[in-house]
Structure 1
Amino acid sequence: MLLGIWIMDIPMNSSTCQNSFETGPDPKTQAFFDLIREADQPLWPGCELSKLSFLVLLFHTKSINKWSNKSLNDLLAILQQAIPNGSNIPRTFSEARKIIGKLGLSYEKIHVCPNNCQLYRKDKANDDFCSKCGASRWKNKKDKTKLTKKERKKAAPRKVLRYFPIKPRLKRLFIHKETAAALRWHDEGRVKDGALRHPADSEAWKAIDSEFPEFASDSRNIRFGMASDGFNPFGTMSSSYSCWPIVLIPYNLPPWLCMKASSLMLSLIIPGPSYPGKDFHVFAQPVYEELADLFESRTLTYDASRDEMFRLRTVVLHTVSDYPGLGIFALYSVNGEFACMPCGEETCSKRLKHGRKYCFMGHRRFLPLDHKFRYDECSFDGTEEHRSAPLAYSQTSTLKKIQEVPDFEKSKTWKGISGLFSLPYWDINLLRHNLDIMHIEKNICDNICGTLLGLEGKSKDNLQARVDLQDMNIRSELHPQRRANDKYYLPPASYTMSKKRETTIL
């Protein structure tokens, strides 16, 4: 919706522009301005809506209210008779879609193997069945069956991926003066006092600038965050349908803009109904290829705020996801004894016999070598800690480690080479993956509150945990005590609140 408002606000006076790479818009951008000017005429004298703004509002209403194409056809027919000079509006949904389509923000439909083996694009665009598993591309067709041209025109694909090209959307951001200026805010408007307020203050951002000084020399070059998660598009919680969008966040914008829904760029919708798993990177190939091209080839773009053409480049700073999503992005096993991806095979974990979970310990390794907690046996696991901290994964070549894995199927850590490594800068990124604070905040708060208040079913301090302490022969003051009636008494821990205290807090 915001895009429509931006388009309506684009200045129409471009008489001073020249078709030059130095100043003024290029022919394609000028043609877009001409299209907007033509469509910016009011529906009738005195009307507040132009033909373009009317169609944008109409399509927005159709989308959020889930109107059918036929219902919009019927509405347009009525509006042509009801409003003055009704011939200015399209007669059918098809005509209206052609006008909106000229804005250049369409999407591509890419057919997918039903078993997620491959995408039918490039050299496989005309195949009728998968080159790996032999499954038919089309509904109601036998596997490994070739179709004639006539049959192919009538055939319906079994699975469709929807891809939204990134370059046209980036160009639309720079075609509006205010937005183009806002994309330089991180360099021109940000307070640079060392405080961490924006991704531009982070070491990861600075590391990219240091590694690629030519990229850093133009503040208009875009730094993206990439996010993805599964959701049910039908809104019914009983359904197991899982659809995965891939969203790009332009971090160049100021904090009050970059995280707004109108600033997020949808680049891909991975169809359901199943969880994509390691096939995620098969679906994401078009995104990776365009992002790599945006970094290397430098896309010619018109900057309306400076009235000049420039070569735009982009990088992806990191991904944003929950922990299972991190496993998909990185193709790393986030379950089991080595579930900490930064630590990898140096993860310190123990399988609890009664809790039936892995407990991750050894956190004292990250303390200074002379810290008193390293020598405190009683308060921790009954041992002193003399090991040094594991080497941060950002300080080594992760790609080299992954390539040395002999068998991904049997590996307890890496499960494959992530498609993100096709980006030429990914292996040297300082921070490749970020965790979504929403999940961490909720889970940690739930567990802490449940344990402190002793909530049944929510507390982590239960009989199983106490028996595990007993098996490990630590924290003897917390060991469960068996009573004569075969029930267990759990001695209160130091953080346990009395009933009176709980009542006061609640």
Structure 2
Amino acid sequence: MDRSWMQKNRLSEEYKKGVLEFLKFAETNLPESNGRFHCPCAKCVNIAPLEAHIVWEHLGVNGICQNYTKWIWHGELSDAPKASPKEEFDVEMGDRLEDMIRDIGQDSFQRANIHDTLCNDSKIPLYPNCKNFTRLSAVLRLFNLKAINSWTDKSFTQLLELLKEMLPEENMLPNRAYEAKKILCPMGIEYKKIHACPNDCILYWRDNEEKEKCPKCMTSRYKKKSDDEGCDVTTKGPPAKVLWYLPIIPRFKRLFGNLNDAKNIRWHAEERKCDGKIRHPADSLQWKKVDTLFPDFGIEPRNLRLGLSTDGMNPYGSLSSNHSSWSVLLIIYNLSPWLCMKRKHVMLSMMISGPKQPGNDIDVYLSPLIDDLRKLWDEGIDVFDSFSNETFKLRAMLFCTINDFPAYGNLSGYKVKGHKACPICEKDTCYHQLEKGKKTVYLGHRRFLNHNHPYRRLKKAFNGYQEYKVAPKVLTGEEVYHRVRNISVSFGKKQKRLQVIIYGRRVQCSLTFHIGPVLM
């Protein structure tokens, strides 16, 4: 059916005839509607069904929604494959068991035992003669409710204990949150605990995995235990610092295993409105430049463009700054604006434990994530797309970062304190130090305005002077590389040392002392 009338003026005859044909189309394809249809005007946007004459009035006054090109609310069949309500419910609850088990079984021969375990759990009924749930599907449903409602492990354990008492005696439901997690871990829903040097020098990972002391600062990998006399014991204890890493590659595979998510990933290429206005990162010059520089990457709409965000937080909920744990989040910009910032699609990739923030040494902790991102960019991974029922080579790139200014300094390694803190203006930064509070403020932002902008002539509203300077030239990527290529970086917190003079000799020692009995 012709839809050109949707772009016409609402007062034209073509638009009125088009509305009449649209209503006739709805009456023909929805005979059971009894004269009530969803109103597709620009204000109602198919929220609720209305009488046909009210729909006629709304379309004449408000106009039709320009994005409503497929009239699925008025009887037109969609070309996209649809899942039944039961299938959509299962996908949302993460119950695509056979697909996930198949992917796990194809990873390597070493996972054969895991594959057998999952198959057994997916076949064992929750209790004798139970037809609706298996042991694995029940745990998956419960864990989904735990994630949606933000239940703690303690409350989840109490729920499992109650359900186990309510079910028949021979049920297979675990009664502890820890036991339930052990069932799901073989499916790839796991995390990695990587030990770290307490001074942020290295990760005990790969070449350093077997070491028990940091090769830089010689600090023990484990927390030292003390005996009754206060002396350190060399036996192993808990790790001094831990990085919690949640691998992103298996999570991307499960993302495309969900029918709805696999379809939403294509939104920026298939459903986005392209009218020259910036509503989405795909409308930006940076997105288009990536498509131009790397056409093999840009031609595949399913390739992921990710945003990385990190900042410190206090997990204990108090306003004290004595403890700071840093979370690293990934945002998928292929999704529509109303989905990409939803909690479901914001991926927690790692948690850097405290109590001290990593500072500029955060690069040490980002190395596992960077390795996975490099693999996704250079090689790609084979992923099954449940929407198109095919396997393709998935690639991903880090599109941008989202931080406040202090976190930006830690993530980029740029100095963001002092009089020359602006990364754009650099040595030409316009700063002013307040007389009373001795705080440094930056007031040179008017230089970025047009030459004839009226704000440039205002004095009292700003720093008391007119602005005649022009905006500094932005450095290119090659210029930035030539500036930083010879910089040598040494990670790790330096221990404060105290100078002590003993018998005329100057000796440096750490600030840690053991106070014991004095021998006379």
Which residue matches 2:78? none
- Over 3 Å counting, the alpha-carbon distance change for 1:352 and 1:396 in structure 2 is farther
Q: Matched residue of 2:313: which SS?
A: coil
Matched, 1:313 2:395: yes
Which residue matches 2:52? none
**Among 332, 352, 359, which residue is 1:250 paired with?**
332
Which residue matches 1:470? none
Q: Deviations over 1:434-467 (max 9, x none)?
A: xxxxxxxxxxxxxxxxxxxxxxxxxxxxxxxxxx
Q: Deviations over 1:114-139 (max 9, x none)?
A: 11111001111000100100001012
Which residue matches 2:271? 189
Q: Which has the larger radius of gyration?
A: 2
- Over 3 Å counting, the alpha-carbon distance change for 1:354 and 1:223 in structure 2 is same
Scaled by the length of structure 2, the TM-score of the pair is 0.65
**Among 202, 219, 225, which residue is 1:135 paired with?**
219
Looking at structure 1, the residues matched to 322 and 353 of structure 2 have their Cα atoms a distance apart, in angstroms, of: 13
Q: Deviations over 1:322-342 (max 9, x none)?
A: 111111111122221112112
Q: Deviations over 1:19-66 (max 9, x none)?
A: 9xxxx999459x999958963886366776553343135446778443
Give the alignment of 1:97-136 within 5 angstroms: 97-136=181-220
Structure 2: segments with no counterpart, 5+ residues: 1-87, 227-231, 493-520
Which residue matches 2:81? none
Given that residues 319 and 329 in structure 1 are in contact (C-alpha distance below 8 angstroms), is that contact kept between their aligned partners in structure 2? no
Letter in 1 for 2:192: E
Given that residues 243 and 273 in structure 1 are in contact (C-alpha distance below 8 angstroms), is that contact kept between their aligned partners in structure 2? yes
- Over 3 Å counting, the alpha-carbon distance change for 1:124 and 1:218 in structure 2 is same
Structure 1: segments with no counterpart, 5+ residues: 410-414, 417-506
Which residue matches 1:357? 439
Which structure carries more relative contact order (alpha carbon 8 Å, separation 6+)?
Answer: 1
Given that residues 25 and 309 in structure 1 are in contact (C-alpha distance below 8 angstroms), is that contact kept between their aligned partners in structure 2? no
Which residue matches 2:244? 162
Higher mean displacement: 315-324 or 345-354: 345-354
1:299: Cα distance to partner?
Answer: 0.8
Looking at structure 1, the residues matched to 461 and 175 of structure 2 have their Cα atoms a distance apart, in angstroms, of: 77
- Over 3 Å counting, the alpha-carbon distance change for 1:295 and 1:380 in structure 2 is same
Q: Deviations over 1:185-210 (max 9, x none)?
A: 11011111111111111122122222
Given that residues 43 and 85 in structure 1 are in contact (C-alpha distance below 8 angstroms), is that contact kept between their aligned partners in structure 2? no
Which residue matches 1:334? 416
- Over 3 Å counting, the alpha-carbon distance change for 1:362 and 1:140 in structure 2 is closer
Q: Deviations over 1:324-376 (max 9, x none)?
A: 11111111222211121122222222333345222323334323445566577
Which residue matches 2:312? 230
Which residue matches 2:298? 216
Q: Matched residue of 2:415: which SS?
A: coil
**Among 164, 171, 184, which residue is 2:253 paired with?**
171
Higher mean displacement: 48-57 or 307-316: 48-57
- Over 3 Å counting, the alpha-carbon distance change for 1:408 and 1:131 in structure 2 is closer
Which residue matches 2:346? 264
Which residue matches 1:451? none
Aligned residues: 392
Higher mean displacement: 384-393 or 224-233: 384-393
- Over 3 Å counting, the alpha-carbon distance change for 1:100 and 1:364 in structure 2 is closer
- Over 3 Å counting, the alpha-carbon distance change for 1:209 and 1:349 in structure 2 is same
**Among 80, 92, 101, which residue is 1:6 paired with?**
92
Q: Matched residue of 2:392: which SS?
A: strand
Matched, 1:89 2:207: no
Letter in 1 for 2:365: F
Q: Matched residue of 2:344: which SS?
A: helix
